[in-house]
Every structure is written in C-alpha cells, then in structure tokens.
Amino acid sequence: MPTGIPATALQLRSLVRADQMVELFLETVEVPEPGPGEVVVRVEAAPINPSDLGLLLAGADVSAAVASGPADRPVVTAPLPDAAMRAMRARVGVPLPVGNEGAGTVVAAGSSAAARALLGKMVAVAGGAMYAQYRCADAALCLELPEGTAAADGASSFVNPMTVLGMVETMRREGHAALVHTAAASNLGQMLNRLCIAEQIPLVSIVRRPEHEELLRSAGATHVCNSTSPAFTDELTAALTATAATLAFDATGGGRLASQILTGMEAVASAAAASYSRYGSTVHKQVYIYGSLDRGPTELTRNFGMAWGVGGWLLTPFLQQIGPEAVARLRRRVAAELTTTFASSYTDQVSLAGALQPGTIAAYARQATGSKYLIIPSR
Amino acid sequence: MPTGIPATALQLRSLVRADQMVELFLETVEVPEPGPGEVVVRVEAAPINPSDLGLLLAGADVSAAVASGPADRPVVTAPLPDAAMRAMRARVGVPLPVGNEGAGTVVAAGSSAAARALLGKMVAVAGGAMYAQYRCADAALCLELPEGTAAADGASSFVNPMTVLGMVETMRREGHAALVHTAAASNLGQMLNRLCIAEQIPLVSIVRRPEHEELLRSAGATHVCNSTSPAFTDELTAALTATAATLAFDATGGGRLASQILTGMEAVASAAAASYSRYGSTVHKQVYIYGSLDRGPTELTRNFGMAWGVGGWLLTPFLQQIGPEAVARLRRRVAAELTTTFASSYTDQVSLAGALQPGTIAAYARQATGSKYLIIPSR
C-alpha cells in the first residue's frame, strides 16, 4: 500500500439487533489492498439521500434515538416498531455498511491498466459502503470526473442524476411526451426541472409549499401546482391539459396524490375523446412510485377509466434493463454537466461521527425538501 | 325483408335524465334492412354480465327503483347519486341501447357472400345493443356456432370466454407461469378454472364463502383460498409458494385484496432470494383489476418491495393489441368448446320486460356469485 494510506480506517455501520433496536456506529476496518482491477478511493464527500435512509435507519423511531460513547466514536441506538422489525428479519445481527454514492481521490490502484489510469484522479463511485474513509472499488464502477471537480460537486453524481435521466428515458421508451413530478422542489426535482428545460420536455411540478412554487418558477418552471391549494384540482387539470402529460413519477407513495394525478389525466383525455365510453378513455395513464415520503397506504379511487397503471420504479433494475452501453452514455453526460444540469446543493456538511448525532439524524430522517446533508469522512 | 320479420321490435334503453334519474324502458324501433355485408339476427338469448351493468344502471341507487307503465312495457326510474351523475354527464339525454353480447338466428342477410352464408345459422354477436328482439350486425362480427347449438349455450360466447383466454394470453405474453384470480367462483372464475386445468396452468382461486371453496374444489381446483378465513394469509402464501404465481386478475378492485396478493407474492419471492435487499425482491409482481365488485378505493400498503404493478385490464383494448388473427383463433376455440370449457350457467331466464322488474334489477345489481340472468327477448 502506498505511503500515507493508513492500515485501518472508519466505516459507518447499521445493525438491527435481536432486541428490536437499531444500532449505528463507526467500525474500524482494514483498508484492503486493491485487486488487479480495483482501486482504493479516499472518500471525500458522500451525500445522505432519501434512498440511503431505509438501509441506514431500518425504519427505526429516530425521535427515541439515544447516543452513547465518545464524541468521535458515538454509538446510537433507536427502537424499531413491530412492523419495521418484521420487515428487517433478514438483517438481524448483521452490521451493514451504508452509503450509496460518493466521490473522492484514487490513492491506490491494482495492476490493470484501467485501475492505474485512475490513480490520483477524482472519481465518483456508486456501489454502497461509501460512508467510510476509504473504499476499495472495481475500477469499472468509478466515474472519472473532469479535472478540478471538487469532491462535494461529484458526490451526488449517480443517484439523482441517473434517476432524472432514467425518468426521461422511461418516458420516451413508454411513449409519453411529458412528465409529472411530485415533491418537485427537492434536489432531484430541481435537477429534473433543469433537465426538462434543456430537453424541451413539458413538466408539471407538484409541491406542497408556496416558497417551493416560487423556487421552481424562479428556476424557469412553467407548470407548478401546489397540492395544498384549494384550487389544486383545477390547477393540476390546467397543467395536464397544457402539457398532455400521461406519465408521473411520485416520490410520496402514500395517500391519494397518485390517484388525483390519474383522475386529472383522465379528465383531460376524456375531454379530448370523440364519444362517451363507460370504461373511460383509451389513453394509458401511468404513475410510477419511486419514493415513500408518505409511508401510509396508496389509495386509488379508480375514477379514471380502465387504461391506467401504478407501479414501483427503481433505478438499478431500470439501468440493468437499458444495458451497460446506455448507462455509460448517461454517466458521461452527468460528468460533463455536473455543475450545471446535475448540480446538487447541501444544507450542511458533517463528519462520520457528526452524521450519528441524534439531532442531525432527526433532521435528515424528516426528508424535508431543501434539507440535504453531505458527509465529509476525513473530518 | 323476408316474411315473418316484423317491421318494428323492442329494444331496451337506458337514459340518464337531467333530473338525475336513470330511466330504463323498452323502445319500439324499426328492424333495419341489412346492408350488403350485414345480417339481421333474431336475438334469442342475451346474458346480463357485470360488464353490462355500468351502461345499464349508470350507477343508480337501484334500491330506490320505481316501476310504472303496463307489465309488458314497464318504465323503471332510479335516482343517481351525485358522484355517479358527475361521471355520467356525457350521457345525459341520450337513450342508449344495452347488452354486450347474445346469440340468435340469422333471419335476413345482405347481398355479400359472407352475409348470405350465415342465413338460417345460429350465431353469437358481441357488439352492444343485444337486449333487443332483433339486431342488425356486420357479418364479420358474427361467430357461427356449431350446428345444433342452443341460443342459451351460445349467448355468453364472447365476454367471459374471451376474458379468460385473454388472461391466459396476458400471462404468457408478460412472462408469468401461473395465475391468481379473485371472486373465483363466478361463472368467469369457473370457466378460468376449467381452462387452466386444460392448459395445465397453476391457478390460485380466491373466494369469500365456504360453499364456493367446495364448488371450485369439486370442479377440480387445487388451490382455493377463502379471504374471510382467519388463516387466509398463510393459506394464500402456501398457494403462492406452490404455484409461483406472480400475476393476478382481480374482479373486486376496492379494498386491500390486491395489496394482500402482492404482499404474499413478495413473501414467496423474498424467501427464495439469495440475499437481503432493502428494496425487496427483483421479481416483478402484477395485479390487473378488471372488475369493480367493491367500488371503494384500492388500498396498497406497499410492503412488497419496488418490483410491482397494479393496473386496469379491459378486454377490448387487449384484443386490439393482439390483432384480428389472434382474436379469430381464440373465437374459433370458444365455438368448439362452448358446452365444455366455456359453458355458462344461469339462475333464471327473463323477458325484456322481466329484466326491468325492480326486484330482478336488485338481484342482478348485487352481482352475487352464482346469480346470473339470461334475457330471452322473444318472451
């Protein structure tokens, strides 16, 4: 191992215990020698995404989280509700590393040409276990970032950028011409807004707060609806009429929002139909649920005809479906537009230990729009 | 027009009035001269299917139905709830003919060879307006039935047979190997059970009453679950394990049954998965809702991973999708197996006027399993 790389380093772990508690702690792990095709990345920035929270918190009641241990090596425990415990059976007793993505400098490389070519470069990695000081990774999984890219700018170069590109790709592959997006003022929503403007794709953004309407409009969004507004149904119908959107990506999951969107799409399709049909319009209307900000049940009132679908949407199987060449093309685009179309912003930066403070956990567990944390493992 | 065919005949009509009432009545209409490619069918039997009720009753409160007029020409009125009235706006003031399918004898034919070839034959017709004494139809829409077929045996040769064949065809096209069906003791459910036995397709039948379990088991069904049983979850999981079914057709629509089925499928898929994934299994699980016996909202608890879909399924667009050759192949099979695989049974036979008795309307509007009416327009 080259000089300057320690033999051991810290890695964040999440453990579901048999006593129905989640335990979060920092483990000292060996920094491995890279295999021939591998590199060792010094992780310099890793975001806490909503998609990390399921693995990290396991559904624990974070309002009851308790910290113990020294400030630089805290151990946090929080109780698991019964339903979450049932869902987590397969994890009991196995301390799991966490962190879908991050960026950092390649500080050691295996013998292959691909690995050696990355030495000293800033790369983005998406492969789990990124809440760590060092991460050994397959060189093929590393995205080389343009020279001079700051780690903080490259940290979120996979999950959100590939998700918004995946949404647009799904739209095209399934024959739709416009999009609806909920929780639309999130980092991801702002990114989708920039991408849709760049690609001239009509987008309906649904938010819940007036300041988020403003935020998106000032970023150039044309169709922004507030679901808490008394005029929401009319505003949504007007936006759906203007855009002819028949595909929505919903980050909330629970409640009636997906159903309201389908109802609005059907109202537009029926108004355009030549004749009455008791089965509703023949226009296929689709909502993909890709998040679960509202963990309650999805309620579908089914007053939107018979040509509709609701389903789960997940990035990884989508990328498997489109194949490695298409994925590589999308990733190159992300690297090239990392500080423009695919830029992220963060509320705060924390150390690994800082990410385990109960107050900080409560803040990121809320998944409030506009609140996003970046872990800086070297701190 | 040949001798013996009257100039006018009766046709059942359903009218949504501006005063928020549905009016059902028998209209005297001219029996048309057939065009070159058309035939006139003397309708001898037409079933009242669940799929006819939306058009016929328009969502009216049939418990408040009132009949007036003479016994052979009744006029029934029933009030429409506000929500139904809103959904029926496009129909107001237009008296619509009803009846998706039926069978009868071709009594007149246009000049084309195809039309003339059907003269005197028993045919099944699916094209609407079958609750009538005579129906002029395109010869291409008529399915010639085997010689000696009784009208009552041919009356239901389209909707239910093509639906069960469509379910099996959908299963194959979407890469599933087994099926789940709800409200499974219905005429359609019994037919699907016979078809699956003939095709060696594993089928899980979900019913709500012990006598319906018995009925299906005595018809050779292997996997029958009662959703009102306290052991339903375990029984369903066992049946899903045995069959590996990942596709369900749900006739109920409302409530949590679709969700329970997806949860059971996911339990089976997770148990078979090599490792824990916080996003659930990668096995795609699908429920198609093709009926609405429970008109309440569909509630999805989303505790079944991310690889799932729920959507509407409707026969007509499915047949358009598979194309006319595939449809013709399926229809020939139906004609050949009309008294075996695709046989229907009826609780009662009624005249056109008899179908408009409030007590009878209340009976078929309940859509109770085992209760099915056949209209004999000549009575």
B110-119 mean pLDDT: 97
Kindly state the helix (H) or strand (E) to which residue A197 belongs, with its residue range: helix A187-199
Residue whose C-alpha is closest to residue A376's, from A86, A69, A152: A152
- Across the interface, which of A87, A298, A308 has its CB nearest the CB of B300? A298
Query: A113 to chain B nearest CA, in Å?
Result: 33
Q: A40 and A34 in contact (C-beta within 8 Å)?
A: yes
How confident is the model over A15-33, as pLDDT tens digits?
A: 999 999 999 999 999 999 9
Contact B307/A317, CB-based, under 8 Å? yes
- Across the interface, which of B91, B276, B310 has its CB nearest the CB of A276? B91
Give me the pLDDT at residue A236, please. Answer: 98
In chain A, whose CA is at the least distance from the CA of B98?
Answer: A278
Query: B135 to chain A nearest CA, in Å?
Result: 21
Query: A217 to chain B nearest CA, in Å?
Result: 32
Alpha-carbon Rg for chain B in angstroms: 22
CA A123 to each of CA A154, A353, B178: distance values in angstroms, whole numbers, following the listed order? 8, 24, 46
Contact B302/A317, CB-based, under 8 Å? no
Tokens read off for B280: 């659930």
Residue A251 has pLDDT above 90, yes or no: yes
> Which residues in chain A have Cβ-Cβ distances shorter than 8 Å to B312?
302, 305-309
Instruction: Print burial letters for B299-334: b (CB count within 10 Å at least 16), e (below 16).
Output: bbbbbbbbbbbbbbbbbeebbeeeeeeebeebbebb
In chain B, whose CA is at the least distance from the CA of A255?
Answer: B299
A361-375 mean pLDDT: 89
**Residues composing chain B:** 379
> Which residues in chain A have Cβ-Cβ distances shorter than 8 Å to B313?
306
Q: Give residue ranges of B with CB < 8 Å to any A CB.
A: 54-55, 83, 87, 90-91, 253-254, 256, 259, 270, 276, 278-279, 282, 289-290, 292, 297-303, 305-314, 316-317
Residue whose C-alpha is closest to residue A12's, from A366, A372, A360: A360
- Please tell me the distance from the alpha carbon of residue A201 to that of residue A217, in angstroms, as a whole number: 16
Contact A312/B289, CB-based, under 8 Å? no
Tokens read off for B92: 């107001």
∠ CA B281-B285-B289, rounded to 5°: 155
pTM, 2 dp: 0.89
> Which residues in chain B have Cβ-Cβ distances shorter than 8 Å to A278?
54-55
> Which residues in chain A have Cβ-Cβ distances shorter than 8 Å to B301?
297
In chain A, whose CA is at the least distance from the CA of B306?
Answer: A312
Which amino acid belongs to residue A303?
A: N
Tokens read off for B229: 């049983």
Please return the burial class of B276, using the count of CB atoms within 10 Å of its CB with bins 0-12, 13-18 and 19+: middle
Which amino acid belongs to residue B213?
A: E
How confident is the model over A54-68, as pLDDT tens digits?
A: 999 999 999 999 999
Query: A255 to chain B nearest CA, in Å?
Result: 9
Give me the pLDDT at residue A2, please. Answer: 67
Contact B302/A297, CB-based, under 8 Å? yes
- Please tell me the distance from the alpha carbon of residue A364 to that of residue A48, in angstroms, as a whole number: 8
- Across the interface, which of A292, A306, A308 has its CB nearest the CB of B302? A292
Residue A128 backbone phi and psi in degrees, to 5? 85, 165
Residue whose C-alpha is closest to residue B87's, from A206, A18, A267, A9: A267
B84-94 mean pLDDT: 87
Query: B6 to chain A nearest CA, in Å?
Result: 32
B88-93 mean pLDDT: 88
- Please tell me the distance from the alpha carbon of residue B230 to that of residue B158, in angstroms, as a whole number: 37
Least confident among A243-247, A330-334, B257-261, B370-374: B370-374
Q: What is the mean pLDDT of chain A?
A: 95
* pLDDT category of residue B278 using cuts at 50, 70 and 90: confident
Give me the pLDDT at residue A257, please. Answer: 98
B123-138 mean pLDDT: 96
In chain A, whose CA is at the least distance from the CA of B283?
Answer: A317
Contact A313/B303, CB-based, under 8 Å? no
Residue B204 has pLDDT above 70, yes or no: yes
DSSP, res A218: H
Give me the pLDDT at residue B33, please. Answer: 94
- Across the interface, which of B90, B259, B282 has its CB nearest the CB of A317? B282
Interface test with B, best of A80, A302, A304, A320 (most B CBs within 10 A): A302
> Which residues in chain A have Cβ-Cβ distances shorter than 8 Å to B174?
none
DSSP, res B355: G
A&B contacts, CB < 8 Å: 90
Give me the pLDDT at residue B4, please. Answer: 81
Contact B311/A313, CB-based, under 8 Å? no
- Across the interface, which of B91, B301, B308 has its CB nearest the CB of A312? B308
Interface test with A, best of B94, B279, B287 (most A CBs within 10 A): B279
Tokens read off for A142: 């590393």
A138-164 mean pLDDT: 95
Contact B306/A313, CB-based, under 8 Å? yes
- Please tell me the distance from the alpha carbon of residue B183 to that of residue B371, in angstroms, as a whole number: 13
DSSP string of A5-45, one letter each residue: --SEEEEEEEEE-TTSEEEEEEEEEE-PPP-TTEEEEEEEE
How confident is the model over A85-124, as pLDDT tens digits?
A: 887 888 899 999 999 999 999 999 999 999 999 999 999 9
- Please tell me the distance from the alpha carbon of residue B201 to that of residue B251, in angstroms, as a whole number: 19
> Which residues in chain B have Cβ-Cβ distances shorter than 8 Å to A303?
83, 87
Give me the pLDDT at residue B327, please. Answer: 93
Lay out the sheet containing A294-300: strands in order across: A253-255, A294-300, B294-300, B253-255
Give me the pLDDT at residue A88, please. Answer: 84
Query: B85 to chain A nearest CA, in Å?
Result: 13
In chain B, whose CA is at the least distance from the CA of A89?
Answer: B276
Interface test with A, best of B257, B306, B308, B320 (most A CBs within 10 A): B306
Residue whose C-alpha is closest to residue A25's, from A88, A72, A87: A72
Q: A327 and A319 in contact (C-beta within 8 Å)?
A: yes
Give the residue with greater pLDDT, A317 vs A370.
A317
How much of chain B, in percent, has pLDDT values that exceed 90?
A: 88
How confident is the model over A208-230, as pLDDT tens digits?
A: 999 999 999 999 999 999 999 99
Tokens read off for B49: 């299917």
Query: A14 to chain B nearest CA, in Å?
Result: 13
- Please tell me the distance from the alpha carbon of residue B344 to that of residue B353, in angstroms, as a whole number: 23
Give me the pLDDT at residue B127, please. Answer: 87
Query: B270 to chain A nearest CA, in Å?
Result: 10
Residue B1 has pLDDT above 90, yes or no: no
Residues 6+ apart with CB under 8 A from B8: B28, B29, B30, B31
Residue B2 has pLDDT above 70, yes or no: no
Q: What is the mean pLDDT of chain B?
A: 95
Strands (E), B110-174: 122-126, 134-138, 142-144
Tokens read off for B206: 């979900």
Residue B3 has pLDDT above 70, yes or no: no
Which amino acid belongs to residue B239?
A: A
Contact A302/B306, CB-based, under 8 Å? no
CA A42 to each of CA A33, A47, A134, A145: distance values in angstroms, whole numbers, following the listed order? 13, 15, 5, 15
Interface test with B, best of A86, A250, A290, A300 (most B CBs within 10 A): A300
- Please tell me the distance from the alpha carbon of residue B157 to that of residue B341, in angstroms, as a whole number: 11
Q: Give residue ranges of A with CB < 8 Å to any B CB.
A: 54-55, 83, 87, 90-91, 94, 253-254, 256, 259, 270, 276, 278-279, 282, 289-290, 292, 297-303, 305-314, 316-317
Kindly state the helix (H) or strand (E) to which residue B310 belongs, with its residue range: strand B308-312
Dihedral angle at the C-alpha atoms of A322, A324, A327, A331, nearest 10 degrees?
A: 180
How confident is the model over B133-175, as pLDDT tens digits?
A: 999 999 998 999 999 999 999 999 999 999 999 999 999 999 9
Contact B276/A91, CB-based, under 8 Å? yes
Residue A348 has pLDDT above 80, yes or no: yes
Contact B297/A292, CB-based, under 8 Å? no
Query: A315 to chain B nearest CA, in Å?
Result: 10
Give the residue with greater pLDDT, B274 vs A184.
A184
Residue A51 has pLDDT above 70, yes or no: yes
